[in-house]
Structure 1
Amino acid sequence: MTRHAAAKLFLVGSLAAGFAPRLPAIDPDPSKLAPTREQATRAQELVAKLGDPVFRIRDDATRELRKLGRAALPVLNDTLNTTPDPEVRVRCETLLPAIETADLKARLAAFVSDADGKYDHKLPGWGAFRTITGNTADARTLFADACQSKDNVEVLQALGSPKEELEKVVLNRRMLLYNQSVRYSPNGVRTPARTGDVVTLLFAEATVSIANRNYSYAITNLLSQPTVREAVTAETGEPFRKLLAHWMDSRTNYLEIYQAMNLAGQLNLKDIPVTKYAEKVLATETSPVIYRMYALTTTARVVGADGLPTLAKAMDDKTKYAVNWIVNNQRTVHEVQVRDIALVMSLLVTKQKPEDYGVEVKNLTAQNLNDALKFSYMYYAFADDKARDAAFAKWKQYQAKQPNPAKK
Structure 2
Amino acid sequence: MDVLRLDNRLTDEERMIRDTVRAVVAEKVLPHVADWFEAGTFPARELAPELGKLGLLGMHLKGYGCAGMSAVAYGVACRELEAGDSGLRSFVSVQGSLAMAAIHKYGSQEQKQQWLPKMAAGEAIGCFGLTEPDRGSDPGDMRTHARRDGADWVLNGTKMWITNGSVADVAVVWARTDEGIRGFLVPAGTPGFTARDIHRKLSLRASVTSELVLEDVRLPADAVLPGVTGLKGPLSCLSEARYGIVWGAVGAGRACYEAAVAYAKTREQFGRPIGAFQLTQEKLAWMEIALGQAGLTALHLGRLKDEGSLTPQQVSFGKMANVRAALDVARQARTILGANGITLEYPVIRHMNNLESVLTYEGTQEVHTLVLGQAITGISAYRG
Whether TM-score is above 0.5 comes out as no
Normalised-by-shorter TM-score class: under 0.3
Q: Which has the higher contact order (CA 8 A, sep 6+)?
A: 2
In our comparison, the structure showing a higher alpha carbon Rg is: 1
Name the one with the larger strand percent. Answer: 2
TM-score calculated relative to the size of structure 1: 0.24
